[in-house]
Amino acid sequence: MLVDDAGDAGLRSLELMAVEAFERGWQGRALAHHARAMHLYPKPYFQKVAALL
């Protein structure tokens, strides 16, 4: 899935996808592509999302 594919730190579809994949038991079977906004996330939010991945 193409997620957070813009230079906008407010994009949150990567987190939503990670949570949904976990809830559905899709660990190891879901792919997130691009996620360019990650480099703009504030450090605490980045760490939260990284822990989900």
For residue range 1-53, what is the model confidence (pLDDT) as tens digits? 888 888 888 999 999 999 999 999 999 899 999 998 999 999 999 999 999 99
Helix axes 13-23, 43-52, angle to 10 degrees: 30
What is d(CA 23, CA 11) in angstroms, rounded to the nearest whole number?
A: 21
- What is residue 18's predicted lDDT score, i.e. its pLDDT? 95
Residues with Cβ within 8 Å of residue 39, at least 6 apart in sequence: none
- What is residue 4's predicted lDDT score, i.e. its pLDDT? 84
